[in-house]
Structure 1
Amino acid sequence: MFKINYIENTVSALNYIELKNSNRESNAKIYLNLGGSLQELILQKKIIIKSLHPITYEKSYASAVLFPFVNRIEDGKYTFQEKAYELEINQIEENNALHGLIFNKNFSIHNQNISEDFASVTINYTESKKQKGFPFDYTVFLKYTLTEASLTLEVTIKNEDQNSFPFNIGWHPYFYSSNLSESFLKFKSSKKLDLNEKMIPVKIENHVFEEDMLQIKDSHLDDCFILENENISFTTPNYTLKINSSSKENYLQLYTPKERSTIAIEPMTAAPNSFNNKLGLQLLKSGETFVIDWSIKLDTQL
């Protein structure tokens, strides 16, 4: 049987929801005050996502849902329907707007469901304050579903505004490995983005992997690939994960922090700076909704 617990921390004010099964082999912790982000995931006693302490969430954006834009907007500036907009700069050293606008919002519990086989919770956030650089009203629903060997995140965006708005979406989880150098990634891609010193794409390059799987070794990754399908696998000494998206247009950002026990594997529907370069950019009309889901599944065949 699965359970759902709500934990209110009166000291840190970081309130979270815990989904878990009764035998405690699988659990997930979702922090309402940190943009509804997934801060812990254990599947069949295997640590998949864990705290990045002492790196703070404000620095890592760990497991943040990236909306209405992924990655960076150069100088925070873009033009939409012949009107210029300027977002807040939250990456000072590169003078970019970074990782969207909901990563630090407070989410509320919308509904929840438990059964013998799963636990799910839906949380939501509504924006109605006309944020600087993105003066549109919208509601975001995040539905997390935990089973014995998987977690699914379904994101629903509803345009509550009278006007259409541009958008894309992504997810920023960091995955734990007991030995990152001996871990492997597998995905299908023949193109990657050439990034300048501000990590802004300047062109699309052809590339070929030397091996069927990319071994991380001691490499420092901060790269964006254009995927040919929605399938990614990540293999560590302790587990293999299948990471899938319901989107048909997919980009993959990979990032290895200096602390070498995790890697950010970021599925995205668009490229960095897409509000300007239009790579993967979408339009959501007034009253319409957009739905996407990402799944993390433990390969139990190994």
Structure 2
Amino acid sequence: MYIITQNNQTGIVKIKSVSQGVYAKVCLNDGGSLQELTLNNLPLIVDLAPLTYSTTYASALLFPFANRIKDGQYRFNDQQFQLNTNNKEENNALHGLVYNKSFSVTHQSAHKEGAELIMEYDYKQLEDGFPFPFKMRLKYTFTKTGLDLNVSVINTSDATFPFTIGWHPYFLSQNLDHSILKFESGHKLNIGDRNIGLDLESISPIDSVVLRNKTLDDCWQLKGTDVRFETPNYKLNLSSSQADNFLQVYTPPKEHIIAIEPTTGVSDSFNNKLGLKFLEPKEIFDITWTLKIHTN
């Protein structure tokens, strides 16, 4: 049986099933982010201490933009906007506006074979750099060998706004040097100063990246919807319900940890337009990332 507990003081929700070897920890006050995940007794997402959430953005939902916006500036509909440059070292806006917001649980259910947790955040602050209200809904569905993360966003304003969206999970490998990423790509993002995306360049088609002795902060345009992460003790498949996807891969300064980030756009998308989408008034955008594991 699955059990869901919520601590209203800390904003932490825990999902647990002893019989299925499942444990999850969601932090409502850090953008509803999934801070820990164990499936079938395999730790997949773990506490990154001494690294902090404010520097890792671990499992954050990245909206209305994934990655960076150069100098926090962009132009839309003949109007200039200035976002907060929360990435002070590079003077960029980084990872959107919801990663540090507080979500409210609207529904939860637990049964023998799984659990479901739904939460919402209503963006009404109308920050200078993004004066477009929206409502975001996250739905986590947990099973013994899988996770579905469904994200839906409704434009509650009376104006169309630009956006990209992404998810920033870090995964644990028993040995990253003996792990491999599998995905198909024929284009890679050119990244300039301050990690700003410039354009896509054609590359020789690839279907895998061996992670031995690799330090990565790279972005590829995916040909398909699936990414496979093969480690010594499990294989993980991460898929997107959207057809057009990018993959950002980052190795932080912590052993055997790798960020595998599915996104619909790239660094500086509000300016270079790569992957940029638009949400019309009262329109809903919906995406589901599905994670499945197989033990070796």
**TM > 0.5 between the two?**
yes
Aligned match for 1:260, one of 218, 236, 255: 255
> Hey, what does 2:67 align to over in structure 1?
71
Q: Is the 8 A contact 2:198 2:272 kept in 1?
A: no
Deviation at 1:286, TM superposition (A): 0.9
What is the match of residue 160 of structure 1? 156
Tell me what 2:16 maps to: 20
Matched residue SS, 2:112: coil
Give runs of aligned pairs for residues 1-302 of structure 1, distance below 5 A.
Answer: 1-8=1-8, 10=9, 14-23=10-19, 25-208=21-204, 212-300=207-295, 302=296
Structure 2 CA distance for aligned equivalents of residues 253 and 238 of structure 1: 23
Determine helix, strand or coil for the equivalent of 2:274: coil
Q: What do residues 79-120 of structure 1 show as CA deviations (whole Å, max 9, x unaligned)?
A: 111111010001112111000000000110011122222100
Amino acid paired to 1:230: T
Alpha-carbon deviation of 1:22? 4.1
Amino acid at match of 1:194: N
Deviation, 1:24, is: 5.5
How much does 1:17 deviate? 1.1
| 1:149 to partner: Cα distance | 0.4
Determine if contact 1:3/1:22 at 8 Å carries over to the other structure.
Answer: no
Deviations 1:55-87 (A, max 9, x none): 000010000000000000011000111111010
Greater strand fraction, Structure 1 or Structure 2: 2
Distance 2:235 2:51 in 1: 25
Residue deviations 1:139-184 (CA, integer Å, cap 9, x gap): 1101000001001100010111111111110000000112111111
- Give the percent of matched residue pairs that are identical in Structure 1 and Structure 2: 44
2:135–2:153 CA contact under 8 A, matched in 1: yes
Letter in 2 for 1:129: Q
Counterpart residue identity of residue 51, structure 1: D
Is contact 1:251-1:270 (8 Å) kept? yes
How far is 1:209 from its partner? Answer: 6.2
In the alignment, the residues of structure 1 paired with residue 94 and residue 37 of structure 2 have an alpha-carbon distance, to the nearest angstrom, of 25
Worse-superposed segment, 254-263 or 20-29: 20-29
TM-score (norm 2): 0.97
Distance 1:196 1:168 in 2: 20
CA distance in 2, matches of 1:282, 1:53: 35
Please report the RMSD computed on the Cα atoms of aligned residues, expressed in angstroms: 1.3
